């Protein structure tokens, strides 16, 4: 029988977590990056498509290539973050389906339907990016997800062959305790967003 997580774990993942705008200067090691991926890769995607692709940016040269694509309000927070991740979608994700989804040959349904492939890649890479945030929180990291960037510029700089395309960007690290985030905003009540039928 599975058991519910304890309150401390739930607080770290959900109730006390924030989106961070600034971080300490503590680096995120390559071992931690790999551990992060090893954890999140087990999360579900449609037909095990796993279309997300990740560019982990740590070195200053790569970061300087990214900054011109960021909206002005996101430039400094991205410049100072120990780690920035571009979550991208692989438009030809279905090439891996023969080894990743063995129930039947699903690759042709995507290879022959560009609209289905695009919507599947976008939806599931978004899911995987969210899983990455939760895995980071589980490992004691803090996250600052952003959609404020010029995707065309990111794609031209990092994915010039056109196969991958940027979905969203996340800064990761250890959040600054003083002024690292805004006060938590309210959330909509269950009755405002849901019904049980």
Taking only the tens place, the pLDDT of each residue in 115-146 is 999 999 999 999 999 999 999 999 999 999 99
What's the CA gap between 100 and 108, in Å, rounded? 14
Residue 196 confidence (pLDDT): 98
Look at residue 37 and tell me if it is in a domain.
yes
Look at residue 71 and tell me if it is in a domain.
yes
What's the CA gap between 63 and 48, in Å, rounded? 31
- Phi, psi angle pair for 191, to nearest 5°: -65, -20
Look at residue 41 and tell me if it is in a domain.
yes
Look at residue 12 and tell me if it is in a domain.
no
Say if residues 135 and 36 touch (Cβ distance below 8 Å).
yes
Look at residue 1 and tell me if it is in a domain.
no
Residue 26 confidence (pLDDT): 97
Query: How confident is residue 179, by pLDDT bands cut at 50, 70 and 90?
Result: confident
Q: How many structural domains are present in the chain?
A: 1
Q: Which two tokens stand for residue 182?
A: 């805004």
Q: Which residues pair with 142 in a beta bridge?
A: 173
- Residue among 121, 166, 125, 171 nearest 146 (CA): 171
pTM score above 0.75: yes
pLDDT exceeds 90 at position 48: yes
DSSP 3-state assignment of 23? strand
Look at residue 197 and tell me if it is in a domain.
no
CATH number at residue 53: 3.40.109.10
Q: Which residues pair with 144 in a beta bridge?
A: 171
CA-CA distances (angstroms) from residue 113 to 8, 108, 119, 143?
A: 45, 8, 10, 35
Say if residues 27 and 59 touch (Cβ distance below 8 Å).
no
Q: Which residues pair with 54 in a beta bridge?
A: 87
pLDDT exceeds 90 at position 87: yes
pLDDT exceeds 90 at position 160: yes
Look at residue 3 and tell me if it is in a domain.
no
Domain with 67 in it: 21-174
Residue 180 confidence (pLDDT): 87
Residue 164 confidence (pLDDT): 98
Look at residue 13 and tell me if it is in a domain.
no
Residue 58 confidence (pLDDT): 96
Q: Which two tokens stand for residue 106?
A: 């699903």
Residue 132 confidence (pLDDT): 98
């Amino acid at each position: 029988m599975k058991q519910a997580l304890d309150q401390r774990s739930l607080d770290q993942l959900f109730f006390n977590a924030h989106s961070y705008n600034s971080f300490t200067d503590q680096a995120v090691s390559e071992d931690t990056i790999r551990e992060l991926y090893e954890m999140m890769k087990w999360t579900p995607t449609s037909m095990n498509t796993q279309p997300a692709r990740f560019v982990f940016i740590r070195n200053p040269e790569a970061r300087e290539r990214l900054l011109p694509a960021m909206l002005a309000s996101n430039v400094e927070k991205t410049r100072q973050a120990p780690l920035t991740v571009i979550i991208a979608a692989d438009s030809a994700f279905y090439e891996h389906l023969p080894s990743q989804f063995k129930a039947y040959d699903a690759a042709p349904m995507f290879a022959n339907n560009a609209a289905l492939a695009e919507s599947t890649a976008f939806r599931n890479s978004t899911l995987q990016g969210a899983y990455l945030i939760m895995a980071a929180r589980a490992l004691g990291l803090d996250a600052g997800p952003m959609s404020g960037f010029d995707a065309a510029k990111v794609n031209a700089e990092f994915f010039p062959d056109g196969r991958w395309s940027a979905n969203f960007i996340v800064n990761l690290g250890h959040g600054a305790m003083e002024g690292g985030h805004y006060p938590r905003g309210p959330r909509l009540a269950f009755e405002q967003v849901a019904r049980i039928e």
